Amino acid sequence: MAPQEAFMRAPEQQPRRTLYTDAMEIFHRAADLIGLDPRVRLELEEPDYEHIFYVTAKLKDRLKPLSAEEAKQFGDLAVTQVRNPDGLELLADGQIILNGKALLGSDVTVRRGHLRLPNGGFYQLVPGESQRFKAYRVQHNQARGPYKGGIRYHREVSLDLFKALSAEMTWKTAIAEVPFGGGKGGIQIDPRAYGKEELEAITLRFMYKLKNLIGPNVDIPAPDVGTNGNIMALMLRQYMDGERERHNSRGVVTGKDVKIGGSEGRTAATGQGVAYCIEDFYEDRGESVKGKSFILQGFGNVGSHAAQILHKMGARLLAVNDADGTVFNGDGIDVAALIAHLNDPKNLKRSVLGFAGAQKIEKKDLWEIPADFLVPAALGGEITGEVAEKLKVKLVAEGANGPTTPEADRVLEKRGIDMIPDIIANAGGVTVSYYEWIQNKRMERWPESEVNKKLEHALKRNYRIIRDISRNQPRRTDFHDSTPYCIGREVDARCAAMILALKRIEAHYLLEGFSQ
Ligand code: NAD
């Protein structure tokens, strides 16, 4: 074959392992076990839509710190007097964004694009240029309702990852019994490397492009890793800009600040849900969370709230690992003090590192700390087969999405370590997102106690159904009914959760049929 011909020819499809195929292993196992309708299987095997688009933004001028070696040649440079220090925005990586007229009117001495600040540091002045970012929105399935799922800002994202995470949302919304399907998306960006106004510009542009694809009854984003209520507020404003009936659009994103239509209890909801599941796990065995010890990975939204609530329930936090390091205190970490450490304005990385109430240890040593349970609440794929072999806990409660690899699942099963799978353990976020969406639609506002009561009921009811499926123990009580879901044999907890999701989704296709 001529080289040009080979170039134009699409490569043959090879089955290869990806994050998505790994994530779908459990889908196939559960689908086989329940004899999922073949056409429903085809519908669910791949997402409905996979959107990739690009977002551009003009960055600001910034100062990049020089290494000691680089700085030597500028040792005699006069110090630049900064007259408006408020205009200097220090980033976690040591770079400084020049906002507004930060240096204007100051006594600025620049040599070959370099200057020296009163803090003693030498910097290279990098003029702000326009930059392009890759953005995604995967809409996995809408059989049960509008697509729903978070927006992630992170350096390591891909179509493959968002496919896996959006499918997870399809299963999770079915398990939580909220009338949504699954979606997920975000931007390939390290948000800590950009200033506040830059992130604002990038987010507005992102929503400008996303607007065609979503809507309060079509697809409803929420916060995920690297995003929060502030980002949701910007997305909301951009979506509503120029709309006539702005009040009808408030439910286009959830996870908003309560002051602009967010729900009480939403910020803590995912961590709260993790805690409710763990509480129910122990209650079922006639035990209590009180007095149990745990280790935690991730101290962001999910991890810090889960830690706070579990601490209040009487559990002892022994160690925390985040993106920057790991801290340990065998007597128990004071969670409130650790949160205060994170919120200290001097803690630019917002990391657990440097916390005075614990000692620094290596990440690899985290996994070997003996404790009652582990809550992974960071990124996916962290509990590998090798890590699972080392663990000295009796329970893993997945706060993060997909933290345990399929290989690790097999190891945990073999070692008799119990599992509360992500699609129930961290479903608290999407459940309260649903409450937020209803409150927006009805123009209502519910108190936190009501939100948490509903959340506890919803999660514990569905978690009990999952446990019954797992033990093949069909029961109908005042609280829950597992009789339609048990399959006549015992299965592991992750498979049981997937069976519950698939049976609920399949019912929609079987009863409503397929649109032609
Ligand atoms: P976040 O950005 O608030 O916090 C992420 C945490 O993970 C931070 O402490 C960060 O330092 C840590 N981290 C990042 N990379 C790491 C690494 N390589 N090793 C160790 N730690 C690392 O994010 P979040 O909203 O708390 O989400 C955490 C997890 O929970 C994600 O898997 C997310 O998909 C899942 N989740 C979040 C929600 C929600 O409502 N926010 C809901 C369901 C599931």
> How does pLDDT run across 267-302, given as a tens digit for each residue?
999 999 999 999 999 999 999 999 999 999 999 999
393 alpha carbon, distance to own chain's centre: 24
Integer Cα distance of 182 and 180 in angstroms: 7
Q: pLDDT at residue 484 above 90?
A: yes
User: In angstroms, what is the span from residue 375 Cα to ligand 1's centroid?
Assistant: 11
Integer Cα distance of 142 and 39 in angstroms: 15
Q: Is the CB of 378 under 6 A from ligand 1?
A: yes
User: In angstroms, what is the span from residue 497 Cα to ligand 1's centroid?
Assistant: 22
Token digits for 179?
């009338």
User: In angstroms, what is the span from residue 448 Cα to ligand 1's centroid?
Assistant: 24
User: In angstroms, what is the span from residue 378 Cα to ligand 1's centroid?
Assistant: 4
Atom from ligand 1 closest to the CA of residue 322: 21
DSSP letters along 56-72, please?
EEEPPPEEEEPPHHHHG
| Confidence (pLDDT) at 3 | 58
Q: Which residues contact 194 (CB under 8 A, 6 or more apart)?
A: 59, 91, 97, 202
- Model confidence at 179, in pLDDT bands (50, 70, 90)? very high
Distances in whole angstroms, Cα of residue 337 to Cα of each of 279, 290, 308, 357, 445:
24, 20, 11, 8, 32
| Confidence (pLDDT) at 434 | 98
User: In angstroms, what is the span from residue 298 Cα to ligand 1's centroid?
Assistant: 6
Closest residue to atom 34 of ligand 1, CA basis: 401
203 alpha carbon, distance to own chain's centre: 17
Integer Cα distance of 119 and 121 in angstroms: 6
Concerning whether 72 is annotated as a catalytic residue, the answer is no
Integer Cα distance of 86 and 66 in angstroms: 22
What is the percent of the chain with per-residue pLDDT over 70, rounded to a whole number? Answer: 97
Q: Tens of pLDDT along 9-52? A: 766 666 789 999 999 999 999 999 999 999 999 999 999 999 99
pLDDT, average across residues 89-115: 88
Q: Mutate which of 138, 172, 199, 225 to test ligand 1's pocket (most atoms within 8 Å of Cβ)?
A: 225
End-to-end, the C-alpha distance of the chain in Å comes to 41
pLDDT, average across residues 51-74: 96
Partners of 320 in the β-ladder: 296, 327
- Model confidence at 455, in pLDDT bands (50, 70, 90)? very high
Token digits for 333?
């970490």
pLDDT, average across residues 364-378: 98
Give percent helix, percent strand, percent coil of the chain, each to the nearest 5: 40, 20, 40
Q: Is the CB of 429 under 6 A from ligand 1?
A: yes
Q: pLDDT at residue 109 above 90?
A: no
Q: Is the CB of 326 under 6 A from ligand 1?
A: no
What is the percent of the chain with per-residue pLDDT over 90, rounded to a whole number? Answer: 90
Q: Which residues contact 209 (CB under 8 A, 6 or more apart)?
A: 53, 55, 135
The letter for the amino acid at 210 is L
Closest residue to atom 33 of ligand 1, CA basis: 400
Q: Is the CB of 226 under 6 A from ligand 1?
A: yes
Q: Tens of pLDDT along 86-95? A: 899 999 999 9
Q: Which residues contact 133 (CB under 8 A, 6 or more apart)?
A: 54, 55, 56, 57, 187, 188, 189, 202, 206
Contact 328, 358 (CB under 8 A): yes
Q: pLDDT at residue 7 above 80?
A: no
Distances in whole angstroms, Cα of residue 52 to Cα of each of 132, 143, 214, 406, 411:
13, 22, 14, 28, 36
| Confidence (pLDDT) at 9 | 73
pLDDT, average across residues 317-329: 97
pLDDT, average across residues 440-444: 97
Cα dihedral across residues 110, 113, 114, 115: positive or negative: positive
Token digits for 161?
């990852």
User: Which residue, among 155, 423, 121, has the nearest Cα to 277 in the 3D structure?
Assistant: 423
DSSP 3-state assignment of 295?
strand
Q: Tens of pLDDT along 113-156? A: 999 998 889 999 999 999 999 999 999 999 999 999 999 999 99
Q: pLDDT at residue 453 above 60?
A: yes
User: In angstroms, what is the span from residue 66 Cα to ligand 1's centroid?
Assistant: 31
Q: Mutate which of 168, 263, 296, 379 to test ligand 1's pocket (most atoms within 8 Å of Cβ)?
A: 379
Q: Which of 60, 163, 172, 184 is catalytic?
A: 184
| Confidence (pLDDT) at 37 | 97
Q: Is the CB of 482 under 6 A from ligand 1?
A: no
pLDDT, average across residues 454-478: 98
The length of the chain in residues reads 516
Q: Is the CB of 236 under 6 A from ligand 1?
A: no
Q: Tens of pLDDT along 155-178? A: 999 999 999 999 999 999 999 999
Closest residue to atom 13 of ligand 1, CA basis: 323
DSSP 3-state assignment of 355?
coil
Q: Is the CB of 436 under 6 A from ligand 1?
A: no
| Confidence (pLDDT) at 2 | 56
Q: Is the CB of 298 under 6 A from ligand 1?
A: yes
- Specify the long-range contacts of residues 392-395, CB closer than 8 Å, at least 24 apart: 392/368, 393/294, 393/295, 393/417, 394/418, 395/278, 395/281, 395/419, 395/420
pLDDT, average across residues 404-433: 97
pLDDT, average across residues 240-250: 92
Integer Cα distance of 306 and 297 in angstroms: 11
pLDDT, average across residues 198-214: 98
Q: pLDDT at residue 477 above 80?
A: yes
Q: Is the CB of 297 under 6 A from ligand 1?
A: yes
User: In angstroms, what is the span from residue 151 Cα to ligand 1's centroid?
Assistant: 12
Antiparallel, parallel or unpaired: β 96-98 and 88-90: antiparallel
Atom from ligand 1 closest to the CA of residue 427: 43
| Confidence (pLDDT) at 509 | 96
Q: pLDDT at residue 54 above 80?
A: yes
Question: How many CB atoms are located within 10 Å of the residue 240 CB?
Answer: 16
397 alpha carbon, distance to own chain's centre: 15
Strands (E), 168-303: 182-188, 219-223, 293-297
User: What number of helices (H) and strands (E) belong to the chain?
Assistant: 17, 17
Q: Is the CB of 234 under 6 A from ligand 1?
A: no
Closest residue to atom 30 of ligand 1, CA basis: 400
| Confidence (pLDDT) at 472 | 98
Closest residue to atom 2 of ligand 1, CA basis: 225
Q: pLDDT at residue 71 above 90?
A: yes
pLDDT, average across residues 340-354: 94
| Confidence (pLDDT) at 5 | 62
Atom from ligand 1 closest to the CA of residue 426: 43
pTM of the model: 0.94
Contact 293, 451 (CB under 8 A): no
Q: Is the CB of 263 under 6 A from ligand 1?
A: no
